[in-house]
Amino acid sequence: MRESLHRSLTVVGAGVLVFMSSPQAADVLPESPGFYSRQDHELSKLEESQAVPPNLELSPSVQFVLFPKSSSERVILQKLAFLRYEFLINSPSGNKRNELVRWNVPKSSQPRLAAPNAEIALRSWAVASHPEMLEIAPASALTPGYYRLNVGTRIYHFAVAVRDIDSHRDCFDEFTEPLARPQYGPCGSPDAAQSQATGEGATQ
């Protein structure tokens, strides 16, 4: 495989980002088009996956390589969370009447996106010797949990530190009204969820 000098991102002065070449480590680069994960300088081609929970486990400090890069393919990383309560809120007479639609036990439920519009910050840079390649990394180390990565229309799922995933910590409640967008609230006690379903504290 082709090799390129490892490029490290260094913070200098008041938040100025400077790219510096390091001759100590050479990162392996892909020879064929695709989307790759890089861990400990080892490159693995990722396959699209709709499976949740995912079987693939990656490092909290994982990096990715996109080849070839494309300005039309947006890369979005989101964390999945466990759905605990799903509420349907009805207002037949102007006063909200709450109906608990479904109870989900976190350990047996499928992870779902807790906040569909929330994105995890990413940083990216072109490979100096191969400008057609794009390297991508989370702005900070990923915490234990399940993740979804969109690369244009392609979808990848992976896990981080599976043994440390806490379904009671990474969970949420969903509140739905007819003709309205779902709202989401953090997991609390059943009483707190019921209170949130009345409209107190639910957030979009």
Note every long-range contact of 114-118, with CB atoms under 8 Å and residues 24 or more positions apart, other chains counting: 114/79, 114/80, 114/81, 114/170, 114/171, 114/172, 114/184, 115/172, 115/184, 116/78, 118/78, 118/79
Q: What is the pLDDT of residues 36-86, one digit of tens each?
A: 999 988 999 999 987 788 889 999 999 999 999 988 889 999 998 888 777
Q: Is 90 exceeded by the pLDDT of residue 18? A: no
Q: What is the pLDDT of residues 127-166, one digit of tens each?
A: 988 999 999 999 999 999 999 999 999 999 999 999 999 8
Share of the chain above pLDDT 90, in %: 38
Q: Is 70 exceeded by the pLDDT of residue 98? A: no
pLDDT at site 53: 83
Residue-averaged pLDDT of the chain: 74
pTM of the model: 0.71
